[in-house]
Amino acid sequence: MSTGSTDIEIAPSGVAAVEPARRVHEAQKTMWQSLRNNPKVLFIAFFASLGGFEYGYQQGVLGQSLVMTRFKDNFPAVVNSSSATGWLTSVLQLGGIVGSLSAGVLGEIISRKYTMFIACIWVILGSYLYVGAHEGMSSLLYAGRFFTGLGVGLFSGVGPLYNAELSAPEMRGLLVSFYQFATILGIMLSFWVGYCSNFIGGTGEGQTNLAWRLPSIIQGIPAVALAIGIWFMPFSPRWLVKVGRDEEAKKTMAWMRKLPVDDELVQIEYLEIKAESLFERRVFERDLPKLAAKNSNAFIEQFAQYAMCLNSKDNIKRVLTGFFIMFFQQWR
């Protein structure tokens, strides 16, 4: 099929004839049938959702520390000042803003997989700095919280996307929901860990520094596990197609679906992804022809596409709708 000036073979011989019936058959499968047929994707998505756990865990871990006897003795300037306490709380969100805004750019350029690895490094660094703070060194608390915010911000932007792009269409909603489930689980565990660690050495003067440090030590464990495991996880097939690694994308989908590379379903899914990738590129060339003609730097292209979100009333409306949905979700 011809698209613009580029001739692209859209369907291998024999695929077009079986595509509708085979795709309808797959779409009619129950959730449990899909899970049984895609166990690798299920495990990878669950493991990748550790980023969601980190995001949720941060929601409750600080509040527990602020009331611990040993923490108050070590950092009276933080505990006794409402502004200092407020900054310690909000600096995580400041890092999260920076991380989430950069997630889209990094995810497109270096891959969703490596962006999650960078997020792990930020969380590990943040945990290390926070745990390493000692009496009179509250600056390390702020630095630790900021870097942790960078990490969870990256996770929140790229984690659900990675899960969605790995999954088969008929189970995509379930796998994306794993991230939210992990977030809620992290919130719950953070409160229980803080409650239990408060009793290390007692709740009075005998309390040890481990009481307030342990929750942040635990925070770093999932990040370390994910940072190691991520090297054994596949790249997103959609990202592979977007950067021109089509054969690798097909092999990745075949491995995840437990099907041969030349299987009709693998070919159909590949063609759907390829068509979307071509469409996105054509839209970019239409809206930013000068930038597209220059074959510009990938970073410049990504930031230009951010600007496209605000180049029309319709786009602004879409951006504001998504923004306010997430904004008011936090008011709970």
Residue with tokens 């951010």: 306
Residue-level pLDDT at 136:
77
For residue 67, give the amino acid letter.
Answer: V
pTM of the entire predicted model: 0.85
40-232: in CATH 1.20.1250.20 = yes
* Cα angle 173, 34, 235; round to 5: 65
For the chain, domain boundaries: 2-27+259-329, 40-232
**Contact 227/117 with Cβ under 8 angstroms?**
yes
Residue-level pLDDT at 296:
66
**Contact 113/235 with Cβ under 8 angstroms?**
yes
Residue-level pLDDT at 3:
41
Q: For every one of its 332 residues, what pLDDT tens digit does the chain have, with 9 covering 90 and above?
A: 334 444 444 455 444 444 555 555 555 555 566 667 778 888 899 899 999 999 889 888 888 888 888 898 899 989 888 899 999 989 999 999 999 989 989 999 999 999 999 999 999 999 999 999 988 788 999 999 999 999 999 999 999 999 999 887 777 888 888 888 999 999 999 999 988 988 888 777 888 889 899 999 999 999 999 999 999 999 999 999 999 999 999 999 999 888 899 888 888 889 989 999 899 888 888 877 777 777 667 777 777 777 777 878 888 898 889 888 878 877 76
